Amino acid sequence: MMKFIMENKICHQTGIVILAAGSSSRLSRPKQLLQYKESTLLKNTISAALKVKNSFLIVVTGANHDLIAKELNLPEILFSFNSEWEKGMSSSIAKGITEALLVNPDCEQCILAVCDQPFVTSAIFENLISESKKTGKEIAASAYSETLGTPVLFHKKYFPELLALKGKEGAKKLIKKYAEDVVAVPFEKGNIDIDTEEDYNQLIS
């Protein structure tokens, strides 16, 4: 891991944290490994993240960690196992932010993403970064279906509050709390995510 840290500390100021710790309780199998476009849902998100310049990637796992790590044994990916994944999304966010600061203490901002938005692309991540920089807003959230959500970028000043989230609380709590510091970035089809077999069947049909 030390080699990974040294290689990524210089100039890689944006951490991309993919939250993939859930048990997919509404599915009969891990959603992270569902086949999609000759790949998997998780690998699709990882591929998009790896194309973003001056960034480093952390994948937070929990349930099904061994299966996921075996499937995606790539040197560019740093897996971070969240042993407290059952406590809810907040524990995975905290794990990801903590790991990002360990990899690069000078990390300026982090993008939080989930593994089951099949239409995410590198352009989505890049637009969050560019819009935040252009507007001076320190939260850049994806906009779809009249809501704001993931992927979402947070400047480092919000890291302490992300680390303090509890239970099922997620990034949306901070998006609402600091609405005046949020820029909305359109994400076409961002509302499509995979929670059930029906969702998945509609995606691949």
Based on DSSP, count helices (H) and strands (E) in the chain, helices before strands.
8, 9
Q: List pLDDT tens digits, range 104-143.
A: 999 999 999 999 999 999 999 999 999 999 999 999 999 9
Nearest to 27 by CA among 70, 72, 63: 63
Q: State percent of the chain over pLDDT 90.
A: 65
CATH of 2-204, one of 1.10.1740.10, 3.30.70.20, 3.90.550.10, 3.30.70.890: 3.90.550.10
Provide CB contacts within 8 A for 131, sequence distance 6+.
Answer: 137, 140, 183, 185
| Domain boundaries, given as residue ranges, for the chain | 2-204
Cα distance between residue 4 and residue 75, in whole Å:
9
Q: 195 falls in which pLDDT band (50, 70, 90)?
A: confident
Residue 29: what pLDDT?
A: 82
Is beta strand 39-40 parallel, antiparallel or unpaired with respect to 35-36? antiparallel
